[in-house]
Every structure is written in structure tokens, then in C-alpha cells.
Chains A and B, each alone.
Chain A
Amino acid sequence: MNDQNFDNKNTSFSYLESRPLHIGASVPRLDAYEKVTGKEKYAADYYGENLVWAGVKRAGVPHAVLRGIDFSSAVKVPGIVRVLTHEDITGSNRQGVIRKDQPVLVNDKARHCGDAIALVLADNKESLKEALDLIVCDFEPLPGVFDSEQGLRNGAALVHEDNADGNRLLKGEIKTGSGSDAYKECDVIVEACFQTQSQEHAYLETEAGWARLLANGKLEIVCSTQTPFRDRMEVAEALGLDPTLVRIIAPYPGGAFGGKDGVTVQTLLGLAALHSGGRPVKMWWNREESFVSGTKRHAALMYYQLGAKADGTLHFLDVRLYFDTGPYDHLGGVVLTLALEHAGGPYRIPNAQLTGWAVYTNNPIGGAFRGFGVTQVTAAVEQVMDMLAQKLGMDPVKLRLKNATKRGDRSCVGKTMVCSNGLVECLETLSKHDLWKQADDWKSSAGPFKRRGVGIAAAMQGSGYGPVVPDYANAKVELTSDGKIRVYCGVVDMGQGNASTNLQIAGSILGQESGQMELVLPDTDRTLPSGSASASRCTYTFGNALIGAAETLKQRILQRAADLFMASGPHEMALIPGSVRHLPTGREVPLFRLVKFFQDSERIAVHHFRAPVAADNIGVSPEIKLHGLPHTLFSFGACLAAVEVDELTGAAEVKRFLAVSDCGKVLNPQIYQQQIHGGIAQGLGYALSEKLEVEKGRILTTGFSTYIIPTASDVPEIDSIAVEIYEPTGPFGLKGVGEIATNGPLPAVANAVADALGIRVFESPLTAERILEAFASNGRQESSI
């Protein structure tokens, strides 16, 4: 397998029933068959002869000076190839995106339990485990920081002594209008503090990869990643290599959700391959290691004050956010910045004072996770909106409609909204739905010991990288020498279906069915740089590039065919599946014939697209701008949760869920619905059961028997409606759909629970225990029985 030829990895779909690829049609996902039959080769499926297993010795302590590593017994274990430490790294030994502060292998101190201390290479898994257990780290324990507010206090232990701002990774401050002073002009003010928990990505496929060093010095790394092109640079810098000698190959990840937005196994694998004597190397974290070392959704502490005029017009917002970013900048500053931008929800609020801190702690690493900071603040702002509605005696839908941004309005950070905006349509559709109209009947027909409530939430989600970091994609489409259309995807498809959508886009433009299409998954040597699979940007950015490339190729094919047929011009020609037809005569030339009249250089078309950025200067600091504020493209949504609470146990059960979303035009309804349904399921887990228990930096829930993600029986029937407002800058009018649905479930469920019980639980997840405690301490249980 050492001679495995990756260049052959073009997926063709000719063995499946060929299907027309129309925009807007529910074309079955072209990756589905291979995946459900187990044929798809994931990063974890690479082995090969003479394989070396690589594994990591983890710190196991949250904060301690590393005085020494004793691996003298470990190297004596039969089957051990090498034990590597930071001393074996010749590069910067640092990784990260903005602040590169994470060591590949610790050289000074451990900053969280999952820190990598040593890398062991072994002939087999058994020896590897034995050797890892025998490595002894000499640690001098340090006091730790386990809470973000505490981390900012004077005298707190420092996670990075070299950081000029102490434990502050980033502080963001935004003031619009008269800021906090505006509270005096309000008739009503509500105030609350919310605490949201860390969330585990819980992908089916844990972090995995495979690497080898070729004789010509090229380092090939196959890995489960969202960011192949960024990985290449990070690996090269950390290991001191020329980036052009690093090749990252990215099969479909088995789920990622943000947890593979950056380096996991890549650099470690690269380092291992540099020391394995040319043998291929494999690393595959088990679930516990994935929990301990992987990133989490930032836990957040959020203080909110929201003020309005007596008629419900929002007037003032004061927010303080504390985001626990753990020990490293795994996009923590960017997450905080997105949270600040969305802190006021999708509403017009003329006066705002928004302050936020991303704080270093010795907890697990906070990082990217579907929703990316927006999920946390949406939970807060949508609950204070309900509290405000209650105080004003106003219908919660009407309060939201009254303040909903429309195109041309300003968001709470003062950014003028220029993209298509279907928020009003979402809210109106929701208010006309039976689940809302008949909510009172449904609530009053609860059975014994049950109380029912209906809650709603609205949300928006910015997409793309913001004003500074270029959000670009380069698409490449090829007419292959046997007449097929091959699409080179530069953006990873981590399961959301964009690879299939890319074929649909190219196929529809080039008039081809699935049987004529081929696919190349991201590979830094074969596909073109197109940014990360993140930020609801994949199909928006890459799709726009792909349209350009496909149109170019189409013109070239039609022109060449027109020349051959001596037609008056390409307008007389049409691409049909497998052929080009001369419309006036009906004569056809198959693509496999036509291609013979192409030179190789003509068979490939490429196109670059860079997403538009905000044109207005809203006066935020360059640092905050660099971290992505403001965005210019937003998706919108409104959702409803119908919840039944058991008075005896406190358990909240979501009986029905409705999501109405504006993600622009829908290219493939099936894939669209999968994104919405998946986002809701993940959001419901966040709302009700997913609770990462961390005690002094140590995760106590390191597997799925104690970290409780929803099962099929925990996810209710979902109604999902697309409000398809055409977005002029999007490919075929589309906007991003990857994240928006995750934001609504927690606040909608919390509002429904408050509606059912008359009490609010301010800390998520809303476990039965928390609800029952709140209910009991409210003294209402007695009176109800």
C-alpha cells in the first residue's frame, strides 16, 4: 500500500442509476451510496504494509511545569520504533490560526489535561499502549484557572506568561448610539445572567489520519479535516518544513462540526512520518482521547440588560460576555467576535454597549463549533426577548416582528444590513403555522402531571470570514479525456453534502447527469485553495467559483462543437447528457469524441471567487475587524418548540419542533432539510442533555454513556419550512444553511419551559434535575398536586 496512488482517487458515479442534475431538485446525495454500503474510505480507513502506529502521551494534569520526561522504560517495550518529544521538533512547535500558541509537543508546561507531551511510534497498537503507560512526566503542579471571570481577576494564575494581556486572549468593546446611557430613556428593562455549557462535537469519526514521507522529501498526510490548505501551512511552520513539500489529502470526514477546523492529528502525524524510516504512520484517537484533547463549544457566561419603550420598540442593550477559551486560541477570539456581532439578535437596537472577553483557562480548549459564538448569545438574547414580552404584556412574535431588521436597517453593532433578509417572512410563517395558532389548545390538553409550553426564538447567522481575511475559492472543472466532467472540490464536505451539490451545480450548467460526473475531494496537490469548510460559506463561496469555472468550460465545449459542425455559433449548440447537439439539425457529437479535439490545456477551466465584504466602516478597532466583524451576508430563522414538562421528574420533552429559515434559494431540498434537521438535533442536545462535566480542568464525562447526546427517540417530528428569498450575490440565489438551525433550539426550549412552568432556568442544559429543582424551590409543586 506504500505505493498507493492517490492520483487515482476520482470518484465516479456511473455504477449508480444516472440522474438528471437540476438546480432545485432533490437529487439523492451522490455520496450516500458509498457511505451506507461502507465503501467510502475515510481517513481512519488507511492502513498499509509495514504500518507504524503513532500515539500521544497526554498531560493528564491541567496546569503544571514540565520538568522532564522519562521514557527510558517505554523505549524498551518490544515493538517500539521511536519516542519523540519537543526536542525532536525543528520548527516553531506552535500551531494556531490567529495567535499561534499551542505546542505540538509541550516544551515548557502543560496548560490542560489533553496537552500532548510525547509521541510514540510502535509496530502495533498493543506495544503502543504499553509504552504510553510507561512514560513518566515530571510535573510541578501550578495553580489553575478554571473559570473565565476568575481568570480575569488580579492575581489569577497565568496560562501564558508571555501574553501581554494576562489571561485575556481578546477583549472586544462596541458602543453604538449613546450606549449604556440609553437605559434612562427606556420604559421597561429586563435583566438576566445566562450560563451555557461546553459542548462536545461528538462526531461519529474521531480524529484520525495517515501519513508517509516519500523518497523525494514530500510529506503526505491523509486526515479528517475541515481545513486542508490551512493545515499545510500550519504543519510546515510547526515542523520547519517547506509548505510546498507538505500535501494534505482530505477524504470526507465522518462529521466535524467545527471540531476539525484546524489541526488535530496532522502535525503529530507529520512529525511521526519524519521519524518512521519511510514507513507509513497511522494515528486514530479513541473516544476518550477525542473528548480530552479535542475542542469544545465555548462555555459562556452572559450578562444581559435589554430595554424598550412602552410600545415594545427596542431601545437599549447592554451585554457582557465571558467566553472560556481554554488554554489556546483555537479561533477563540473569532468566536467571541461573532458572539458580539450577534449579541443583539436579528433586531434593530439603536443603543448598545457590548463588551466581551475570551479568557484563557486550564479547561478543555474552546473552539469552533457550528454556530460559532452565535449559538451562545442567541440563547441569551432570545430569552430576554421573551422576558421583555412578558413584562410588556406583548405577544412574543409581535415583539420580534416589531423589531426585526429588514434590508437597509442596522444591526446592534451598527452594521447596515444589505443582504436579502427574510426574517419577517420567517416570523410571519411561524405565526400562521398551526403549532403557533393552536398552541393554547395543545397546552391545555396536557395529561396528568404534565405541563405544556410553547416557545419561540429567532436567529441570524453571519457567514464567511468578515472584512479582512479573504473569503475566496478557486474552482476547477475538467472535461476528462474520456468525456466525463470532473469537479475538483477545494472545500471539504464534512457530511453536509456540498460535494454532491457541487456536482449538481456543475452538472446542471453543463447539462450532464450524475453518470457523466466525477469528483475529486480536497487535496492540496490536486484541488485549488478554497478556504475552510466552515462559517456557512462552503456552497456560497465555492459554488460561486464553480459557476464561473463550469460556464467557462461550457462555452469552450460549445464553441469547439460549433466549429466542428460549422454552425453559425455556440448558440446553436446545446450540451445534453454525454453529448453536444446541434439544435437546428439534431446532429450530435459525444463528449468522448469531442474531447479528442481538445488540447490538454483546454480541458480544464478554473475560476476564482472572493466573497463581498462590508463596505461600511462602523468604527470598530482593527483587532476586532481582523477577527471578523462585521459580516455582510446573513441567514435568518425563526423556530418553535412545543415542550411537555413532567412535574414529577422535571423532564422536558420536545414534542414538536418547527423551523422556518431564510437561507436564500434552495439548491437541493433534501440536503437543505438534512442540514436543518441535523442542526436542530444538535441544538436540542445542547438545550436538554449535553453536559460536559469538568472538575478543575478534568473532564469527567469522557464517553457517550455519561455525555448524553440525543437518540432518535429524543428528537421530535420536525417541520421545516424554507423561506426562499433570492440572494443576488449567492450561487443561484443561495445563502448558507450549515449553522442557522443550531441556534434556535436552546432558547426556544427554554422559553417553552418558562411558558409551561412560569419559571425560567438560566443555566443550560435544562436537565430534568435543574428544572425540578427550580420548580420545587418555586414552591409550585406543592400547590399543583
Chain B
Amino acid sequence: MRQVSLPRTLGELWAVLQRQPHSAVYAGGTDLFVKIRDGQLNPESLVCLERLTELQGVQDNGDELFIGAATTHSKLIVAESVREHLRVLVKAASVLGSPPIRHMGTIGGNIVTASPAGDTLPALYVLSAEVEIRHCEGSKRIPINEFIIGPGTVDLAKGEILAGVWLRKHQGWNLSHYEKIGRRKAQACAIASMAAVLELTETGKVKRARLAWGSVGPTVITSEGVENALIGEQLSLEVLKNAGTMLDKAISPIYDIRAGADYRRMVSKAMLLRLNDYACGTTY
């Protein structure tokens, strides 16, 4: 039997963490409890972050949005401001797990788990998200790609928690796309995924582009090569195919129980071609 603490304020949280330095924090528990059941983790006690108001919900801070780490995916995808400014994140979080998992799981949990397959991560990368780390003495902000170090590893010291993510509101993207390839339509871990945000001119030329792939490397993969190959071009199969050739060097997919490395390689490039669906000039 493990003790579970449910602090309501950050003050209480720091006190608990000080008293029980060997406890594990969690929010929805949808990753942590799976690992405890598997025997991968065996924390002495648990601290739940769910009741900390500071970690809950989406705040509009002028030019930026702050999404509290303990915000569940189902809350995230209905938040007005997120829907307006961060469509790619909404698309990604909408296909994460299934309704019950989205009700329990949080964006903070998804980030700290740092799975290469984490669905919100490619979206957060292309949106240049910054994470806010807090500890009893203060806080700091670092870019998400610096926070996530490797599969399952983040730059978080003892006594620190992830407070939330900061995202710029007006990023000017007029095409937001997320595709996840799983073994079934819901409750499926990504075999490969791709988030893309593009700014297209009125004539359909690519002005700016940010793309990121999940599940094809130790962490989320981005490729300036691919992005540069798109910039200045009219979206077309030809252009997208050509850009895909740049991906080969960037990704390092593995073989696992869900799919082979070759398949991951093939579909990473193939997913790019889907952007051609947007080529007709309408934006999404």
C-alpha cells in the first residue's frame, strides 16, 4: 500500500516533496500506473498534481497562452483560445488515446513521459513551445526540444515539476496538420506521426514551414532540410516528394512490436504527401 498525497497549493506540494523525496508525482496517472503495474517503477509514495489550481487550465497572457501541466487533453481540445491559435495541437490531442484516456491524461504527463510516440510532442515542437519548470525557490522557461533529452528522459531535477507550457498566440500559420499512423483508429500508440504548420501565400506558395515527426527517432525529429525544400515552392506532389528525400538523414526509426523500421521510413515520407490535399488553395 502506498501513500498518496493530494496537495491543493504549491506550498503544500513543496512541503510534501521535501518530506518524501522518494515519491513520484503524477497527474492523470495514465502513464505512471502502467509502469508501476509492469514493475518498471516502484515509488515509495505518490503525489498527485491534479488538484493544484496553478497547474490547471489555459490562461491568456496577452501574446502568449499558458497551458497548465495538469490540464487534461479533453479540456485542452475544447479551450477556445487553443482552438483559435494552436490548431495543430488540438488536432494532435484529439487523436491521443481514447475518450477515457483524454479525460484522465494531461499535457504535462505527455511531455514528461517523453515517449517518441507522444502525440502532443510534434505539435508542441512545431509551435516552438517553451516549458515552465518550477521548484520551491522559483521557476524557469526552456524550449521544449531542450527539455526533452531522450526517450523517457527530460531535464527535470529532484524537487522540480513541470508547471506548464508557454505558446505564442499569433504565429501566422494558415495550414495546420497532424497525422498519426496507428494499428487501429483509437487507443493506438503512434507507429509514426507528423505535425506540420505552414504559412501559404494567397497563391499557395510556402512562405514558412515547420514540421516534426514522432516515433521515428529517440525524440521528436525536425528537419530544416525538409522545411527549406518547401519554402518558396508551390505545394505539389513533386515538391513534397523531393522534400521527403531530405528526411532520410534526419530519422532513425527502429523495429519494434508495432512496426518495422522500413515501414516507418516509408510512411514518414509518405505522410508529407498528404499535405498536397491542401494544395488547392483552401487553407485549414
Contact = CB atoms under 8 A, between A and B. Distances in A.
Given A711-B98, A772-B267, A785 B185 contact: no
Contacts of A785: 237, 241, 273
A767 B183 contact: yes
B51 interface: no
B257 A693 contact: yes
Interface of B: 34, 98, 181, 183-189, 237, 241, 257-260, 262-263, 266-267, 270-271, 273-274, 276-277
B273 A648 contact: yes
A714 B185 contact: yes
Contact of A713 (B183, B186, B262, B266): B186
Nearest to B241: A785
Contacts of A712: 186
B184 A649 contact: no
Contacts of B186: 711-714
A381 B187 CA distance: 33
24 contacts: A448-B277, A449-B273, A449-B274, A648-B273, A648-B274, A649-B270, A650-B267, A689-B184, A705-B34, A706-B257, A706-B258, A708-B183, A714-B185, A767-B183, A768-B181, A768-B183, A768-B263, A769-B259, A769-B260, A772-B263, A772-B266, A773-B262, A776-B266, A785-B273
Nearest to B257: A706
A769 B263 contact: yes
Given A651-B181, A711-B184, 20 more contacts: A448-B276, A648-B271, A648-B273, A649-B181, A649-B267, A650-B263, A689-B184, A701-B257, A705-B34, A710-B184, A711-B98, A711-B185, A711-B186, A711-B187, A768-B183, A769-B260, A773-B263, A785-B237, A785-B241, A785-B273
Nearest to A704: B187
A700 interface: yes
Contacts of A711: 98, 184-187
B184 A708 contact: yes
Interface in A747-785: 767-769, 772-773, 776, 785
Nearest to A688: B184
Contacts of A650: 263, 267
Interface in A204-224: none
Interface residues of A, number: 26
Interface string A684-708: 0000010001000000110001101
A700 B256 CA distance: 10
A706 B34 CA distance: 13
Contacts of A448: 276-277
A41 B33 CA distance: 27
A693 B98 CA distance: 24
Question: Nearest 8 pairs between A and B by C-beta?
Answer: A648-B270, A713-B185, A708-B183, A769-B263, A711-B186, A713-B186, A714-B184, A714-B185
A769 B261 CA distance: 10
A204 to B, nearest CB: 15
A705 B270 CA distance: 25
B38 to A, nearest CB: 9
A705 B189 contact: yes
A727 B98 CA distance: 44
A449 B187 CA distance: 24
Contacts of A689: 183-184
A422 to B, nearest CB: 34
A701 B183 CA distance: 13
Nearest to A685: B184
A708 B187 CA distance: 9
A689 B274 CA distance: 24
Contacts of A653: 185
Contacts of B270: 648-649
Contacts of B183: 689, 708, 767-768
Tell which of B98, B186, B258 has the most Cβ of chain A within 10 Å. Answer: B258
A35 B262 CA distance: 46
A653 B186 CA distance: 13
Contacts of B257: 693, 700-701, 706
B98 to A, nearest CB: 7
A768 B277 CA distance: 21
Contacts of A651: 181
Nearest to A706: B257
Contacts of B187: 711
Contacts of B262: 773
Nearest to A785: B237
Contacts of B185: 653, 711, 713-714
Contacts of A769: 259-260, 263
A712 to B, nearest CB: 8
Nearest to B181: A649
Contacts of B260: 769
Contacts of B189: 705
Nearest to B271: A648
B276 A708 contact: no
Interface in A232-279: none
Interface string A630-651: 0000000000000000001111
Contact of B188 (A449, A649, A700, A708): A708
Contacts of B273: 449, 648, 785
B88 to A, nearest CB: 19
A708 B257 CA distance: 11
A685 to B, nearest CB: 9
Contacts of B259: 769
Contacts of A713: 184-186
Interface in A620-678: 648-651, 653
A776 B270 CA distance: 12
B204 to A, nearest CB: 16
A772 B192 CA distance: 14
Nearest to B269: A648
A648 B275 CA distance: 12
Contacts of A449: 273-274, 277
A362 to B, nearest CB: 21
